[in-house]
DNA sequence: TTCGAAATAT
DNA sequence: CATATTTCGA
């Protein structure tokens, strides 16, 4: 970022490793985009490194995100704040394993935990694995193996999940006699459809054999500020299998 | 100790 | 308002 855009200056910066060049003053959108590009690049690089088992080189420069985060909140410019905001709920590579599973929720909780689609899928997978009768918070937690996720949080999520499940049982199987003519007033508590919710009305899967097709998240027609969709598109059915080597449950995917 | 319903909070 | 956290009795 420089105030002069003459060729010499640009060359100098590029020689020093700049990957782009912004002339002051900078519009916030420019920065925001740049930020995301760099972030994604790092993500990519990091993943590549992981593949080769070449993680954390000694001389590896600190991530930009880390640097921004390291800035005391009180000192952060509004620009930095604006840049940080969109990433708060972003799933970073160090929170995820090679399967795209979340392994740490530290940054998924702002004031309260956000159950992302992926985290929820893991939850569902664990519940399905156990069977709805044996799926209690502690066991679910044990299978999910997500750092910093508490039993209470799982219990809470389970409570809502079960509530939704009950709604389903009432609405779905009632295919037979619907003498009522469609229009049940909205005020009726026993509604025909469970209210639209971010996940619970998407994964009716409590049954172990649920091969419901990959559900897309058109949860809310809300903004998806980033161009690409989640890359967790490891569609298919996820379950857990016992890994006798590691002596623990590991993810198992059924693709189709 | 853990569950889970219900009250509370965000 | 949807959904996450806390409380509290079983």
Q: Which pLDDT does position A17 carry in this prediction?
A: 54
Indicate the residue among A125, A143, A170 that finishes a domain: A170
Strand B proximal to A139 Cβ, under 7 A: yes
Domain membership of residue A155 (yes or no) is yes
Tokens representing A206 are 């409590």
Indicate the residue among A170, A203, A236 that finishes a domain: A170
Through-space separation of residue A232 CA and nucleotide B3 C1' in angstroms = 33
User: Over the range A211-238, which residues count as b (16 or more CB within 10 Å of their CB) and which as e?
Assistant: eeeebeeeeeeeeeeeeeeeebebeebb
Tokens representing A11 are 């060359």
Q: Which residue is nearest to nucleotide C7 (CA to C1')?
A: A152
Q: Who's near A236: CB < 8 A, 6+ residues apart?
A: A214, A253, A254, A255, A256
Q: Which pLDDT does position A202 carry in this prediction?
A: 54
Strand B proximal to A138 Cβ, under 7 A: yes
For residue A162, the enclosing domain spans 113-170
* A159, HSE (Cβ side, Cα atoms, 13 Å): 6
Domains: count for chain A = 2
Indicate the residue among A124, A141, A170 that finishes a domain: A170
Strand B proximal to A112 Cβ, under 7 A: yes
**Around Cβ A41, how many Cβ atoms within 10 Å?**
12
Domain membership of residue A133 (yes or no) is yes
Q: Which pLDDT does position A82 carry in this prediction?
A: 52
Strand B proximal to A136 Cβ, under 7 A: yes
Q: What is the DSSP string of A172-224?
A: SSTTS---S-S---TT-SS-SSPPP-SSTTT----SSS--PPPPP--SSS---
- Domain of A118, CATH number, reads 1.10.10.60
- The nucleotide closest to A133 (CA, C1' atoms): B3
Domain membership of residue A59 (yes or no) is no
Spatial separation of the C-alpha atoms in residues A211 and A203, rounded to whole Å: 10
Q: Which residue is nearest to nucleotide B1 (CA to C1')?
A: A138
Through-space separation of residue A152 CA and nucleotide C10 C1' in angstroms = 17
- The overall longest dimension of chain A from CA atoms, in Å, is 79
Report, in ranges, which bases of strand C sit under 7 Å from a protein C-beta: 1-7
Q: Are A92 and A107 in contact (CB under 8 A)?
A: yes
Q: Which pLDDT does position A181 carry in this prediction?
A: 43
- A249 - beta bridge partners? A242
Domain membership of residue A100 (yes or no) is no
Through-space separation of residue A160 CA and nucleotide B7 C1' in angstroms = 15
Through-space separation of residue A159 CA and nucleotide B5 C1' in angstroms = 9
Q: Which residue is nearest to nucleotide B9 (CA to C1')?
A: A112
Spatial separation of the C-alpha atoms in residues A57 and A70, rounded to whole Å: 20
**pLDDT in single tens digits along all 256 residues of chain A:** 666 666 666 666 666 555 556 666 656 555 556 556 665 655 555 555 444 433 333 333 444 455 555 555 555 555 555 555 544 455 566 667 766 778 888 766 668 898 888 888 899 999 999 998 899 999 999 999 899 999 999 999 999 999 888 876 666 555 545 444 444 444 444 445 555 666 666 554 443 333 333 333 333 333 333 322 233 333 456 777 777 777 778 777 664 4
Closest among A145, A149, A96, A104 to A125, alpha carbons compared:
A145
Domain membership of residue A132 (yes or no) is yes
| φ/ψ (deg, to 5) at A147 | -60, 140
Helix A137-144 × helix A117-130 angle, to 10°: 120
């Amino acid at each position: 970022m420089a105030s002069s855009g003459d060729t010499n200056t640009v060359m100098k910066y590029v020689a020093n490793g700049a990957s782009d060049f912004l002339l002051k003053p900078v519009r916030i959108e420019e920065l925001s985009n740049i930020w995301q590009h760099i972030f994604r690049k790092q993500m990519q690089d990091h993943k590549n490194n992981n593949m080769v088992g070449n993680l954390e080189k000694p001389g590896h420069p600190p991530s930009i995100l880390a640097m921004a985060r390291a800035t005391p909140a009180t000192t952060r410019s509004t620009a930095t704040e604006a840049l940080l905001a969109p990433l708060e709920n972003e799933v970073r590579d160090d929170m995820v394993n090679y399967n795209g599973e979340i392994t740490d929720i530290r940054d998924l909780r702002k004031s309260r935990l956000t159950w992302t689609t992926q985290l929820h899928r893991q939850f569902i997978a664990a519940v399905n694995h156990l069977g709805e009768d044996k799926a209690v918070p502690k066991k679910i937690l044990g299978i999910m193996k997500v750092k910093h996720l508490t039993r209470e949080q799982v219990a809470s999520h389970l409570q809502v999940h079960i509530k939704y499940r009950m709604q389903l049982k009432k609405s779905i199987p009632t295919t037979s006699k619907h003498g009522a003519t469609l229009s049940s007033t909205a005020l009726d508590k026993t509604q025909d459809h469970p209210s639209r919710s971010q996940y619970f009305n998407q994964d009716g899967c409590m049954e172990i054999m649920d091969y419901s097709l990959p559900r897309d998240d058109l949860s809310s027609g809300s903004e998806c500020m980033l161009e690409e969709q989640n890359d967790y598109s490891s569609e298919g059915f996820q379950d857990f299998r016992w890994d006798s080597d590691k002596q623990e449950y590991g993810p198992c995917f059924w693709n189709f």
